[in-house]
Amino acid sequence: MNPEELSAQLLAVIAPLAEARREGSAADLTASDLPLERPKNRDHGDWASNAALKLAKAVGANPREFAAEIAAGLEQVEGVASVEVAGPGFINIRLDAATAGSLAKTIVEAGAAFGANDSQRGNTINLEFVSANPTGPLHIGHTRWAALGDSLARLLLASGATLAREFYINDAGAQMERFGRSVVAAAAGQPTPEDGYAGAYIEELGRRVLVARPDLLELDPAEQVVVARDLAYEFQLGEIQASLEKFNVHFDVWFSERILHAAGSDGRPSLVDEAVDRLRVQGHVFDDEGAVWVRTTDFGDDKDRVIRRSNGEYTYFAADAAYYLNKGDRGFAHKIYLLGADHHGYVHRLKALAGSAGDDPEKDIEVLIGQLVSVNGARLSKRAGNIIEMDDLREWLGTDALRYSLARYPADSPLTLDPELLQKRTNDNPVFYVQYAHARTHNVARNAADAGVTRGEFAPETLTHETESALLGALQEFPRTVAFAADVREPHRVARYLEELASLYHRWYDNCRVVPLGDAPIESVHRTRLWLNDATGQVLRNGLDLLGVSAPERM
Go through the domains of the chain in sequence order and give each one's CATH number. 3-95 (3.30.1360.70), 124-170+250-373 (3.40.50.620), 174-246 (no CATH), 425-546 (1.10.730.10)
Task: Tell me how long the chain is.
Answer: 555
Cα–Cα dist 28/19, whole Å: 11
* Straight-line distance from the first to the last Cα atom of the chain, in angstroms, rounded to the nearest whole number: 34
Cα–Cα dist 150/152, whole Å: 5
Render each residue's pLDDT in the chain as its tens digit; 555 residues: 777 888 899 999 998 888 887 765 666 778 878 878 888 777 778 889 999 999 888 888 899 999 999 999 999 998 899 999 999 999 999 988 888 899 999 999 999 999 999 999 999 999 999 999 999 999 999 999 999 999 999 999 999 999 999 999 999 989 999 999 999 999 999 999 999 999 999 999 999 999 999 999 999 999 999 999 999 999 999 999 999 999 999 999 999 999 999 987 777 899 999 999 999 999 989 999 999 999 999 998 889 999 999 999 999 999 999 999 999 999 999 999 999 887 877 888 899 999 999 999 999 999 999 888 999 888 777 677 778 999 999 999 999 999 999 999 999 899 999 999 999 999 999 999 999 999 999 999 999 999 999 999 999 999 999 999 999 999 999 999 999 999 999 999 999 999 999 999 999 999 999 999 999 999 999 999 999 999 999 999 999 999 999 999 999
With vertex at residue 492, the alpha carbon angle to CA 486 and CA 497, rounded to the nearest 5 degrees, is 90
Integer-rounded Cα Rg, in Å, for the chain is 29
Cα–Cα dist 185/320, whole Å: 32
The pLDDT of residue 301? 87
Q: How many CB atoms lie within 10 A of CB 309?
A: 13
Cα–Cα dist 175/171, whole Å: 8
Say if strands 285-288 and 47-49 run parallel, antiparallel, or are unpaired: unpaired
The pLDDT of residue 25? 61
Cα–Cα dist 473/330, whole Å: 42
With vertex at residue 256, the alpha carbon angle to CA 250 and CA 261, rounded to the nearest 5 degrees, is 165
* C-alpha closest to that of 232 among 197, 261, 264, 258: 197
Kind plus residue range of the DSSP H or E element containing 94:
strand 90-95
Say if strands 373-375 and 365-369 run parallel, antiparallel, or are unpaired: unpaired
What are 125's strand-pairing partners? 163, 334
Q: How many CB atoms lie within 10 A of CB 118?
A: 10
- The runs of H, that is alpha helices, within 346-477 are 346-356, 390-397, 399-407, 419-422, 430-451, 466-476
Q: Is 192 left (phi over 0), alpha (psi -120 to 50) or beta?
A: beta
How far is C-alpha 356 from the chain's CA centre?
28
* Exposure of 121 in the CB half-sphere (CA atoms within 13 A): 5
Cα–Cα dist 527/130, whole Å: 47
Handedness of CA 366, 372, 378, 384 (dihedral sign): positive
With vertex at residue 387, the alpha carbon angle to CA 383 and CA 392, rounded to the nearest 5 degrees, is 65
Kind plus residue range of the DSSP H or E element containing 552:
none
CB–CB of 386/199 below 8 Å?
Answer: yes
CB–CB of 470/510 below 8 Å?
Answer: no
Say if strands 365-369 and 162-169 run parallel, antiparallel, or are unpaired: unpaired
Task: Tell me phi and psi for residue 282, to 5 degrees.
Answer: -75, -10
Supply the DSSP string of 163-221, one letter for each residue: EEEEEEE--SSHHHHHHHHHHHHHHTTPPPPTTS--SHHHHHHHHHHHHH-TTGGGS-H
How far is C-alpha 450 from the chain's CA centre?
39
